[in-house]
């Protein structure tokens, strides 16, 4: 119980810092703050799914699309207040996550990755197939304005940054509590050893579906935020590049760690703009400048997985433990997925899942 | 009726492309229990190699052959450098490593060749063939596509079935430990499997690009459909991969022709989910399973 007020306190301090920064900085930085908040919301959901429950998703961009289109349609046709729209967008996406989660509960590793990848490719094409409802390639415009009590001179980008930051922080606090609750413990148990978890009386399938619901709801909220920040919801924004960027951020930050979700999001949002600026000022073409970060992410993703599987957050915790003594080390272990080696599954092809089929 | 025939034939053509990708995935899966998400990226990169060679030499066949060789090299190099170190780690690590490889290839293609759509030449005429005035909906190049994939598949089948090298590969895929005890260099066999997969990917890339244009993400959609085809056939079965590719190609061709071409990937998703729910090991896994 002690930890909840502490987390709330940290969230309020971060909110105050962001509010201060957004007043001091220009509109472009406000936009970047909003972008980071959107990314954090989605990546936090993915890191819970992949890092805690052990299920990979290459299709969380599709859930973002669901949230974004729900937001656009509700604002466009019903003009409800945004906070209500946000809740409904999250709920709609959670339902979508439950459907996908039920289908995915039986799938493992590469099969799940492939199926969610196809989801990420297929779902946005729905917008092209039904242009009457979803606006086709052009997408839907989203009108979002500052509330009247802030006065007419309050910049829209600042308001967008504030709204996005508040949503992201609420999501982080809620997820942090979930992580330490029975639900979170069950996820870790299922991730580390399914059979042992089932023997302990954990409903493995339910735990897996629950993780998908939570992850999808986060992605849906992120999609809703993206809709109001960019003012446009179009299928081009929800390619599998987006889904893979979310995974990249989660892995770079440290899978399973909510703080890692923040570090990963900072890297994913800020580094490309920086690299593009530097490379264009050094006379490189924009095609080169915009692709250097992509190639670099690939390299980083491989290196993190091979050499440094706990990501930035794991590295930070190790640094802290160097200064504070060994008792902090246990945190590193708990937050990051523990690599459990199952050599038999890799080496003997006629193993586990074929035997399942015969029974 | 003519329409139906046209849809079926063009479905067969695309089905053979999916089959080539599916087959490359099966080759790697059988050896390493690993799904290579970089397969599409490898195919895309080798197709860029082909287009550059074709522009330099003005010879389609030089580009074609060099692309296949590049596929061999790229496949083997990927396995040796980044995939092998994931052995013995959780399977999620290997999945993420191949995704990293995919992003790296796409970024590299963007840096080297730019992001714009490029048209890719075909070896033969792409105007539709006719039989007695009835258009068939396929071209000479489409016939070449089908023939090339079938030919490569047959060669692979013969190699696997009747040569010592093929026997070694099958043994390594069947049980790595016993194969190693019998004196087979399993690690080398796995590298060869990746090289052959790279070759098949390159073939698919060169064959599909006249129809899709070439850009850094151009193989993403083809890859997921190849994956679907592989799952339909069962990731363990090379014959299943080819049949899965054909079934998927024809089914999607009907959907695109009679319903709406924007729905094809959704239908593919539906097929994938249905197959995974009903027969998670694919349509062709039954007999082998019972023998185990």
**With an 8 Å Cβ cutoff, are A117 and B289 in contact?**
no
Considering the entire predicted model, what is its pTM?
0.83
Residues of A in contact with B103 (CB under 8 A): 244, 248, 294-295, 297-298, 301
List, for residues A132-151, the tens digit of each pLDDT value.
Answer: 778 777 778 887 777 777 77
Mean of pLDDT over chain B: 85
Among the listed ranges A133-142, A215-224, B40-49, which one has the minimum average pLDDT value?
A133-142
**What average pLDDT does the segment B90-96 reach?**
82
Among the listed ranges A162-166, A261-265, B171-175, B224-228, which one has the minimum average pLDDT value?
B171-175
Output the CATH code of domain B2-114+135-287: 1.10.3470
Q: How far is B104 from chain A (nearest CA, A)?
A: 4
**With an 8 Å Cβ cutoff, are A353 and B227 in contact?**
no
Residues of B in contact with A299 (CB under 8 A): 100, 104
**What average pLDDT does the segment A177-205 reach?**
87
Q: Are B35 and B91 within 8 A, CB to CB?
A: no
**With an 8 Å Cβ cutoff, are B228 and A309 in contact?**
no
d(CA B55, CA A172): 53
**What average pLDDT does the segment A155-175 reach?**
85
d(CA A69, CA A77): 12
Check pLDDT > 90 for residue B42.
yes
User: Looking at residue A338, what is its pLDDT?
Assistant: 47
User: Looking at residue A2, what is its pLDDT?
Assistant: 62
Interface membership of B260 toward A (CB under 8 Å): yes
Interface membership of B119 toward A (CB under 8 Å): no
Q: Which residue of A has its CA nearest to B32?
A: A346
Q: Are B75 and B195 within 8 A, CB to CB?
A: yes
* Number of other CB atoms surrounding residue A176 within 10 Å: 21
User: Looking at residue A40, what is its pLDDT?
Assistant: 92
Per domain, the residue ranges of chain B are 2-114+135-287
- Could you give the C-alpha distances from A151 to A30, A148, A161, A273, B174, in angstroms and in order? 18, 6, 17, 32, 72
Residues of A in contact with B292 (CB under 8 A): 350, 354-355, 358
The confidence band for A15, taking pLDDT boundaries of 50, 70 and 90, is confident
List, for residues A257-313, the tens digit of each pLDDT value.
Answer: 888 888 888 888 888 778 777 877 777 777 777 788 888 888 888 888 888 878 888
Buried b / exposed e across A84-105, counting CB within 10 Å, b at 16+? ebbebbbebbbebbbebbebbb
Residues of A in contact with B105 (CB under 8 A): 298
Of A267, A265, A287, nearest in space to A276 by CA: A287
Whether this model's ipTM surpasses 0.85 comes out as no
**What average pLDDT does the segment B286-290 reach?**
47
User: Looking at residue A69, what is its pLDDT?
Assistant: 92
Sign of CA dihedral B66, B69, B70, B71: positive
The neighbouring-strand residues paired with B135 are B130
Q: State the Cα torsion A206-A212-A213-A218 to the nearest 10°.
A: 150
Of residues B170 and B289, more confidently modeled: B170
CB nearest A305 (choices: B97, B115, B269): B97
What lies within 8 Å, CB to CB, of A319 at 6+ separation is none
Check pLDDT > 50 for residue A351.
no
Residue B155 burial class via C-beta count within 10 angstroms: exposed 0-12, middle 13-18, buried 19 and up? exposed
CB nearest A291 (choices: B37, B107, B269): B107
What lies within 8 Å, CB to CB, of B80 at 6+ separation is B191
Q: How many CB pairs under 8 A join A and B?
A: 203
Residues of A in contact with B263 (CB under 8 A): 125, 129
């Amino acid at each position: 119980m002690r930890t909840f007020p502490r987390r709330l306190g940290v969230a309020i301090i971060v909110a105050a810092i962001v509010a201060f920064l957004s007043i001091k900085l220009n509109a472009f930085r406000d936009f970047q703050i909003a972008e980071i908040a959107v990314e954090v919301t989605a990546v936090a959901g993915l890191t819970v799914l992949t890092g805690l429950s052990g299920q990979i998703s290459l299709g969380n961009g599709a859930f973002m699309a669901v949230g974004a289109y729900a937001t656009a349609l509700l604002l466009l046709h019903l003009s409800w207040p945004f906070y209500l729209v946000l809740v409904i967008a999250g709920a709609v996406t959670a339902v979508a996550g439950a459907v996908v989660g039920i289908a995915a509960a039986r799938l493992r590793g590469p099969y799940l990755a492939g199926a969610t990848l196809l989801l990420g490719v297929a779902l946005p094409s729905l917008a092209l197939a039904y242009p009457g409802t979803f606006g086709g390639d052009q997408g839907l415009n989203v009108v979002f304005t500052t509330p009247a009590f802030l006065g007419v001179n309050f910049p829209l980008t600042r308001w967008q940054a504030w709204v996005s930051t508040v949503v992201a922080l609420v999501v982080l606090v809620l997820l942090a509590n979930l992580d330490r609750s029975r639900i979170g413990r069950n996820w870790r148990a299922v991730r580390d050893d399914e059979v042992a978890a089932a023997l302990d009386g954990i409903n493995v399938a339910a735990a897996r579906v629950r993780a998908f619901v939570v992850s999808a709801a986060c992605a849906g909220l992120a999609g809703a935020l993206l809709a109001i920040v960019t003012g446009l919801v179009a299928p081009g924004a929800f390619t599998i590049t987006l889904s893979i960027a979310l995974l990249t951020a989660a892995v770079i930050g440290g899978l399973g760690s909510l703080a890692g979700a923040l570090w990963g999001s900072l890297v994913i949002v800020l580094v490309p703009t920086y690299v593009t600026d530097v490379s264009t000022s050094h006379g490189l073409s924009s095609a080169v400048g915009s692709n250097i970060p992509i190639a670099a992410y690939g390299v980083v993703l491989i290196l993190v997985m091979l050499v440094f599987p706990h990501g930035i957050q794991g590295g930070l915790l190790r640094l802290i433990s160097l200064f504070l003594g060994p008792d902090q080390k246990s945190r590193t272990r708990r937050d990051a997925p523990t690599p459990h080696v199952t050599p038999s599954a890799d080496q003997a092809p006629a193993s586990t899942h074929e035997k399942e089929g015969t029974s | 009726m003519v329409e139906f025939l046209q849809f079926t034939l063009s479905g067969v053509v695309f089905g053979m492309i999916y089959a080539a990708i599916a087959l490359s995935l099966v080759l790697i899966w059988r050896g390493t229990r690993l799904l290579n998400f970089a397969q599409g990226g490898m195919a895309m990169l080798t197709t860029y190699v082909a287009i550059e060679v074709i522009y330099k030499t003005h010879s389609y066949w030089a580009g074609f052959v060099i692309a296949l060789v590049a596929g061999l090299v790229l496949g083997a190099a990927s396995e040796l450098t980044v995939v092998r170190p994931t052995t013995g780690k959780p399977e999620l690590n290997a999945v993420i490593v191949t995704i990293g490889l995919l992003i790296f290839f796409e970024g590299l293609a963007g840096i080297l060749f730019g992001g714009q759509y490029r048209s890719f030449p075909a070896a033969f005429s792409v105007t539709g063939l006719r039989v007695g005035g009835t258009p068939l909906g396929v071209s000479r190049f489409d016939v070449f596509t089908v023939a090339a994939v079938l030919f490569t598949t047959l060669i692979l089948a013969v190699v696997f079935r009747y040569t010592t090298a093929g026997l070694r590969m099958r043994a390594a895929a069947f049980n790595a430990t016993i194969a190693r005890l019998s004196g087979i260099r399993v690690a080398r066999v796995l590298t060869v499997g990746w090289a052959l997969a790279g070759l098949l990917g390159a073939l698919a890339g060169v064959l599909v690009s006249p129809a899709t244009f070439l850009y850094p993400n151009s193989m993403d959609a083809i890859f997921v459909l190849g994956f679907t085809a592989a799952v339909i056939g069962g990731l363990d079965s090379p014959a299943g991969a080819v049949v899965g590719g054909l079934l998927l190609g024809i089914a999607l061709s009907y959907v695109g022709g009679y319903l709406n071409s924007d729905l094809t990937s959704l239908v593919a998703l539906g097929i994938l989910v249905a197959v995974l729910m009903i027969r998670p090991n694919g349509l062709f896994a039954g007999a082998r399973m019972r023998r185990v």
